[in-house]
Structure 1
Amino acid sequence: MLTKKVLSPWQQYLLVTLSYWSFTLTDGALRMLVVLHFNSLGYSPFAIAMLFILYEVCGVVTNLLGGWLATRLGLNRTMHAGLLLQIVALLMLTVPDEYLTVVYVMLAQALSGIAKDLNKMSAKSAIKTLLPEEQQGRLYRWVALLTGSKNALKGVGFFMGAVLLQVFGFAGSLMVMTGLLAGVLILTASLICSELGQMKVKPKFREIFSNSQPVNVLSAARLFLFGARDIWFVVALPVYLQMVLGWEHTDVGTFLAVWVIGYGVVQACAPMITGAGKASGGRAGMLPGKKAAFGWVLVLSAIPLLMLLAADLSGGLSGEVLISGLLIFGAVFAVNSSLHSYLILRYARTEGASLDVGFYYMSNAAGRLLGTVLSGGVYQLWGLEACLLVSAVCLATAAVISLKLPETDPVA
């Protein structure tokens, strides 16, 4: 009888990364396809934002329940359930334009939201289970590499979505992405250990809520951090570039792709930027903690305010101010995101890490939901400048919350 070959932690890490990369390509492409296609169909900025509401709501619920499911079923199964659901969501959107009502697209996006967060929670939690507890330096580098490469590929996905839309149209683009995901699903499902992340003692349902103060504080900071990004990035920015600055579909997709790729590269380099690039073993003193989390988000909160000041001095939010500010914001935000992604695994329990990681990414999804709603609503009512102001307020709030993080590692 044939048995599945037992792979090394490094080999399993590569397979997990492959799954995460493939999903990210289609997720970024789908987001760009929906924004550009429905903007061309005459949808208002707020209506486009509404298309993503269930996507973000389902992300909140999925992260909360997904960590608990992973401890019972295994991270392998929850990760591949995410791939399968994304395939279904893509196929749902291949119907003719006349059937693409707001409600129907919201339902398809809801499935995609469930899929995205099942896949992400599983991939991030898997790293914690593949490394010994004492290898904190390697944990930071592996998380930074996974997160950074994922976001670089999300940028490629933005570009891919714009190009596919131009070449194949909306439905044809979705079919191309479906084929890609199906191939990855078959490959990784046949190789990754099926028991990855399962707990010997099955946790009770009430344990989905974290009782760890560091996890709760970091989760609250994450909510405002990602809300601050998405309030101007999700809907307001691409619509402003297209409608106010007069950019074409491919111009918007290419620029956002380059931005996210650069963002991902900075994320992958975060251990070197924060001075922990050579940290290894138990030398936790070289690794970031409370001071880094507070300091980096405080710096980030100043960038939208400086953009508003520059816009006021130059008589408006010009393309030069917007693009230069966006590049600086992306680099500093990338370091913040990578720091958070490491800290949640540092604070998470050793066995059943997916419970803490799922709770944390529930807050991440809630922040995206908040940002998405505000992105369409605030932009439609008051414009992009108002989005930047609210972003700065959210970031200042995240900085204050970060002061509640522990000075040293919590006792497991």
Structure 2
Amino acid sequence: MHVISSLSPQVRQYLLITANYWAFTLTDGALRMLVVLYFHDLGYTPLQIAMLFLFYEIFGVITNLVGGWLGARLGLNRTMNIGLALQVIALAMLLVPTALLTVPWVMAAQALSGIAKDLNKMSAKSAIKLLVPANAQGALYKWVALLTGSKNALKGIGFFLGGALLALLGFRVAVLVMALGLTAVWLLSLIFLKKDLGRARAKSRFRDIFSKSRAVNVLAAARLFLFASRDVWFVVALPVFLASQFQWDHWQVGGFLALWVIGYGAVQAMAPGITGAAGKQADQFPSGDSAVRWATVLALIPALIAIALYAGFHPAISLLGGLLLFGILFAINSALHSYLIVSYAREDGVSMDVGFYYMANAMGRLLGTVLSGWVYQAAGLQACLWISSAFLALAAALSLLLPEHHVSPDGG
């Protein structure tokens, strides 16, 4: 409380940034569920529905790479507001008559939504670095964990919101309501968000989008494999397995995964307390060895689930129980990484380091998504789980190269 009371202007900006991020995340999760359910009702095949989100992931990679440079050149307030505006446009594109909702049109709308999402996320994560003093690392860890955890919890709530709005209002009215609500948030952000937040003092060159910091580069590589390890079995393989092997209907699968995401977000927000790194002593902050330990433990979970499924040991209990344990440990790993990138990033031009890092995050999601469908179709869920475990072992091995202690604010 003492830290918060001494930073009242910064806290006000943090709350505004968080509110922007929350509002965006609700519409992002709701839009995904709306698109999946509505186009399923229109008779689209699962492959066609999956293709609707392909550009969403691809443009996430591009946006994170370029968005950090834009944030340093324009200021994080502008990149965040651009992200909100693009999401409003993406929603508006879906208000055309049903006959015009072709696959290319919806893919274009999803591409805009993917750009908007990563501009918004990069801006929010980068801004926290500038709102917390360099000597308040405990507060930084807690603020980053709260922002990241609440975002994921709200994304799960957004899944429910999308289904409810579709049932109560229909597709077009639901999209219109979300577009109007997000427009109001965008206008408030234009008025109240601090101008030039995060603009680099030195002129940023485009070639500088690739980080020169060894710690940032190593952490980005570890992040790629961390998120590929989740999505290689979570995105396609798990829902299909639950539907085909456990005979769950779409609402059971969607509801369970939404609850998993909400719980995952809640654990992320509590990560500083779980890891015991919320204190004020320098050696209590997460460091490279923290990332190694937690990734190593997490790597065991998919392997144990695969062994249990191979042995036929209570498949439902093994899979669902293992998934819950995986979610808890993965949330802690993700929260540690989110803190470390903000801690390692340069203060002048922070968005460039953060953008580069989340570009690796998006590449991991894309790699995992593609492998999830391909490997599951070729070899089944157990193969996906073994690949997940191998990716986590790679993430842990890469983390051995991270600094053992906190890096100075200039990224040195």
Q: TM-score, normalised by structure 2?
A: 0.92
> Counterpart of 2:388?
391
Matched-pair contact (CA < 8 Å) for 1:303–1:325: yes
Q: Provide closer, same or farther for how the CA distance between residues 234 and 35 of structure 1 changes in structure 2, counting only shifts above 3 A.
A: farther
> Counterpart of 1:133?
134
Match of 2:293 among 287, 292, 295: 295
Please give the residue correspondences for 1:227-238 in structure 2 after superposition, counting only pairs within 5 Å: 227-238=228-239
Structure 2's unaligned 5+ residue stretches are 1-7
Deviations, residues 36-89 of structure 1 (Å, cap 9, x unaligned): 344455545444333222111111111111111111211111001111111111
Match of 1:369 among 355, 366, 369: 366
Letter in 2 for 1:268: A
Q: Provide closer, same or farther for how the CA distance between residues 41 and 239 of structure 1 changes in structure 2, counting only shifts above 3 A.
A: farther
Aligned residues: 403
CA distance in 2 between counterparts of 1:392 and 1:97 reads 43
Q: Provide closer, same or farther for how the CA distance between residues 37 and 390 of structure 1 changes in structure 2, counting only shifts above 3 A.
A: farther
> Counterpart of 2:179?
178
> Counterpart of 2:399?
402
CA apart distance, 1:194? 1.4
Q: Provide closer, same or farther for how the CA distance between residues 299 and 49 of structure 1 changes in structure 2, counting only shifts above 3 A.
A: farther
Q: Provide closer, same or farther for how the CA distance between residues 132 and 292 of structure 1 changes in structure 2, counting only shifts above 3 A.
A: same
CA apart distance, 1:348? 0.5
Deviations, residues 289-321 of structure 1 (Å, cap 9, x unaligned): 1111011111111111111122122278x4333
Q: Which is further off, 153-162 or 220-229?
A: 153-162
Matched-pair contact (CA < 8 Å) for 2:209–2:352: yes
CA distance in 2 between counterparts of 1:376 and 1:49 reads 10
Q: Provide closer, same or farther for how the CA distance between residues 161 and 381 of structure 1 changes in structure 2, counting only shifts above 3 A.
A: farther
CA distance in 1 between counterparts of 2:79 and 2:282 reads 31
Deviations, residues 65-114 of structure 1 (Å, cap 9, x unaligned): 11111112111110011111111112222334443333222211111110
CA apart distance, 1:225? 0.7
CA distance in 1 between counterparts of 2:16 and 2:330 reads 27
> Counterpart of 1:378?
375
> Counterpart of 1:204?
205
Please give the residue correspondences for 1:275-290 in structure 2 after superposition, counting only pairs within 5 Å: 275-277=276-278, 279-280=279-280, 283-290=281-288
CA distance in 1 between counterparts of 2:296 and 2:137 reads 25
Q: Work out whether 1:90 is the aligned partner of 2:114.
A: no
CA distance in 2 between counterparts of 1:337 and 1:137 reads 17
Q: Work out whether 1:34 is the aligned partner of 2:20.
A: no
Q: Work out whether 1:326 is the aligned partner of 2:343.
A: no
Q: Work out whether 1:256 is the aligned partner of 2:254.
A: no
Letter in 2 for 1:385: Q
The root-mean-square deviation of aligned C-alpha atoms, in Å, is 2.0
> Counterpart of 1:153?
154
User: Secondary structure in 2 aligned to 1:134?
Assistant: coil
CA distance in 2 between counterparts of 1:244 and 1:291 reads 39
Deviations, residues 174-231 of structure 1 (Å, cap 9, x unaligned): 2222122112111222111111111222211111110100000000000111111112
Letter in 1 for 2:329: V
Sequence identity, in percent? 60
CA distance in 1 between counterparts of 2:168 and 2:249 reads 14
Q: Provide closer, same or farther for how the CA distance between residues 340 and 44 of structure 1 changes in structure 2, counting only shifts above 3 A.
A: same
> Counterpart of 1:22?
23
CA apart distance, 1:34? 2.9
CA distance in 2 between counterparts of 1:48 and 1:154 reads 19
Matched-pair contact (CA < 8 Å) for 1:294–1:399: yes
Matched-pair contact (CA < 8 Å) for 2:310–2:382: no
Q: TM-score, normalised by structure 1?
A: 0.92
Q: Provide closer, same or farther for how the CA distance between residues 376 and 101 of structure 1 changes in structure 2, counting only shifts above 3 A.
A: farther
Q: Provide closer, same or farther for how the CA distance between residues 319 and 165 of structure 1 changes in structure 2, counting only shifts above 3 A.
A: farther
Deviations, residues 131-173 of structure 1 (Å, cap 9, x unaligned): 1111111100100111111111111111212222333333333
Matched-pair contact (CA < 8 Å) for 2:343–2:407: no
Deviations, residues 12-36 of structure 1 (Å, cap 9, x unaligned): 0000000001111111122223333
Q: Provide closer, same or farther for how the CA distance between residues 319 and 29 of structure 1 changes in structure 2, counting only shifts above 3 A.
A: farther
CA distance in 2 between counterparts of 1:65 and 1:322 reads 39
CA distance in 1 between counterparts of 2:158 and 2:403 reads 37
Structure 1's unaligned 5+ residue stretches are 1-6
CA apart distance, 1:252? 2.8
> Counterpart of 1:343?
340
CA distance in 1 between counterparts of 2:175 and 2:203 reads 38
CA apart distance, 1:331? 0.5
Matched-pair contact (CA < 8 Å) for 2:268–2:332: yes
Q: Which is further off, 320-329 or 380-389?
A: 380-389
Letter in 1 for 2:30: A
Letter in 2 for 1:287: F
CA apart distance, 1:363? 0.5
Letter in 2 for 1:129: L
Q: Provide closer, same or farther for how the CA distance between residues 66 and 52 of structure 1 changes in structure 2, counting only shifts above 3 A.
A: same
